């Protein structure tokens, strides 16, 4: 297909894209390159017969999806060969070995093409990375822009890799044109969390156990947990409510909320957003969503925790897995409306300066192309 536009292609390294990813950083970046910078943007992955993509029409219209002839290295190389003339920009997510032959082939057929690597790494992955491996070094040096999504990982990789590591945060884009007028007048005494619930990584039980410790001191507060519940978590939830029957009316599992306007209402209603994870891939996407909604941020001490709280200007950090420390923060913060209000207002201003996806993608475009136009 001949097209006068630059082509930006994201090829999944390991399988298929999911609908939810279309409105996260891996979808937002190609979408905004299309919308604001004149690209033809395509996300390429394996066929998944169980996945549909309603977000394509609802939120990212104009972003294209294409599917590999087969889910293999051969299939990826064949795709690159067939579309090389269109692939002006190759977007990679994660320094996976599966990308190595793809990049080597791409550079051979498109030596003028650009490569953007979003590392999507946390400190655990980064510390175990084979930094001195010649194949990895060659791969990293082949990329025109390499980015981390939080400062801690950016600093670590800069020291290890010997190439510039840019800070490209996972930003937020207002897909539904949601209004944030009179934001703080409509907030309720709600502690919110959003994500995949019940996995070992998320440690949602810490949130619930901490709340149980302070529930009597905070009788007008409640918790809302938004997201799909992992089936192995259900027995734990039932046990929790059998131990704390009075909390059944104060702890709500909403299920997955796919509508962006409805999800934004959850963030807008809440005064506090809490994340209890053991790790995340840099800056979790929920960070920007909660900051723009003016939520007071309470984070476990993951890599991006102090960025999420702007060094405690709009939140607090507790040690991963320390339920007592989290309970103490709840007790202090929930009883201090002034602290929550100031922190929430700081969160909004901080988000506007640092997490606006359109500004982030405009900067990425400049790093790739400078003042050059098509």
Question: Per-residue pLDDT averaged across 70-99, rounded?
Answer: 96
Report the SS3 class of residue 42: strand
Tell me if 208 is assigned to some domain: yes
Q: How sure is the predictor about 3, in pLDDT bands with cuts at 50, 70 and 90?
A: low
Is 291 part of any domain?
yes
Are residues 75 and 187 located together in one domain of the fold? no
Is residue 123 domain-shared with residue 261, that is, in the same domain? Answer: no
**Residue 2 belongs to some domain of the structure:** no
Answer yes or no: is 176 within a domain.
no
Do 26 and 178 touch, CB atoms closer than 8 A?
Answer: no
Could you tell me if 103 and 202 lie in one domain?
no
Q: Are 38 and 72 in contact (CB under 8 A)?
A: no
Residues 212 and 116 in one domain: no
Q: Give domain status of residue 1, yes or no.
A: no
- Pair (188, 333) in one structural domain: yes
Asked if residue 188 and residue 166 are part of one domain, the reply reads no
Residue 26 resides in a domain: yes
Specify whether 42 is located in the same domain as 99: yes
- Based on the fold, state whether residues 361 and 349 are members of the same structural domain: no
Q: Are 194 and 330 part of one and the same domain?
A: yes
- Average pLDDT of the chain is 95
User: How does residue 371 score in pLDDT terms, banded at 50, 70 and 90?
Assistant: low
Q: How far is CA 118 from CA 29, 39, 54, 341, in A?
A: 10, 18, 25, 34
Of the candidates 329, 327, 325, the residue with the CA atom closest to the CA atom of residue 316 = 329
Compute the average pLDDT of residues 256-266: 96
Query: Is residue 201 included in any domain, yes or no?
Result: yes
Looking at residues 286-300, what average pLDDT do you find? 98
Contact status, residue 295 vs residue 273, Cβ threshold 8 Å: yes
- 194, two tokens: 């959003």
Tens digit of each residue's pLDDT (9 = 90 or more) over 90-135:
999 999 999 999 999 999 999 999 999 999 898 898 888 898 899 9
- Its pTM stands at 0.94
pLDDT tier for residue 69 given thresholds of 50, 70 and 90: confident
178 in a structural domain: no
- Give rounded-to-5 percent helix, strand, coil for the chain: 45, 20, 35
Here the tokens at position 72 are: 């293999």
Which neighbouring-strand residues pair with 150?
none
Q: How confident is the model at residue 221 (pLDDT cuts 50, 70, 90)?
A: very high
> pLDDT digits over 157-212, tens only?
999 998 999 999 999 999 999 998 889 999 999 999 999 999 999 999 999 999 99
Higher pLDDT, 241 or 162: 241
How is residue 221 written in tokens? Answer: 């507060």
Q: Which one, of 51, 55, 43, lies nearest residue 18 by Cα?
A: 51
Residue 65 has pLDDT above 90, yes or no: yes
Q: Do residues 229 and 135 both lie within one domain?
A: no
Instruction: Give residue 62's domain range.
Output: 7-171+356-369
CB 56 within 8 A of CB 22: yes
Helix (H), strand (E) at residue 107: helix 100-109
Counting the structural domains of the chain, the total is: 2
Residues 257 and 216 in one domain: yes
Say if residue 155 is in the same domain as residue 204: no
For the domain that residue 189 is a member of, what is the CATH number? 3.40.50.2000
């Amino acid at each position: 297909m001949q097209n006068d536009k630059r082509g930006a292609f994201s090829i999944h390294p390991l399988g298929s894209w999911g609908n939810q990813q279309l409105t996260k950083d891996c979808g937002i970046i190609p979408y905004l390159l299309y919308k604001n910078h004149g690209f033809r943007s395509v996300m390429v992955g394996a066929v998944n017969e169980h996945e549909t993509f309603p977000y394509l029409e609802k939120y990212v219209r104009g972003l294209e999806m294409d599917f590999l002839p087969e889910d293999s290295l051969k299939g990826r190389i064949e795709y690159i060969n067939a579309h090389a003339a269109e692939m002006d920009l190759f977007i990679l997510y994660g320094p996976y070995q599966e990308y190595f032959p793809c990049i080597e082939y791409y550079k051979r057929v498109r030596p003028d093409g650009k490569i953007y690597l979003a590392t999507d790494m946390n400190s655990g992955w980064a510390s175990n990375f084979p930094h001195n491996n010649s194949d990895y070094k060659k791969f990293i040096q082949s990329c025109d822009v390499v980015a981390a999504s939080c400062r801690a990982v950016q600093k670590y990789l800069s020291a290890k890799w010997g190439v510039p590591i840019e800070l490209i945060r996972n930003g937020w884009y207002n897909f539904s044109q949601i209004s944030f007028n009179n934001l703080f007048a409509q907030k309720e005494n709600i502690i919110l969390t959003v994500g995949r619930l019940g996995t070992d990584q998320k440690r949602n039980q810490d949130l619930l156990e901490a709340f149980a410790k302070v529930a009597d001191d905070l009788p007008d507060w409640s918790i809302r947990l938004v997201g799909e519940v992992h089936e192995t978590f259900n027995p734990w939830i039932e046990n929790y409510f059998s131990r704390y029957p009075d909390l059944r009316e104060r702890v709500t599992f909403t299920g997955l909320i796919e509508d962006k306007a409805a999800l934004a209402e959850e963030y807008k209603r809440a005064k506090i957003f809490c994340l209890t994870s053991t790790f995340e891939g840099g800056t979790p996407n929920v960070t920007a969503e909660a900051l723009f909604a003016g939520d007071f941020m309470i984070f476990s001490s993951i890599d991006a925790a102090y960025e999420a709280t702007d060094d405690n200007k709009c939140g607090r950090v507790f040690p991963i897995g320390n339920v007592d420390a989290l309970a103490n923060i709840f007790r202090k913060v929930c009883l201090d409306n002034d602290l929550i209000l100031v922190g929430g207002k700081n969160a909004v201003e901080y988000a506007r300066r640092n997490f606006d996806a359109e500004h982030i993608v405009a900067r990425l475009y400049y790093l790739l192309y400078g003042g050059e136009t098509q």
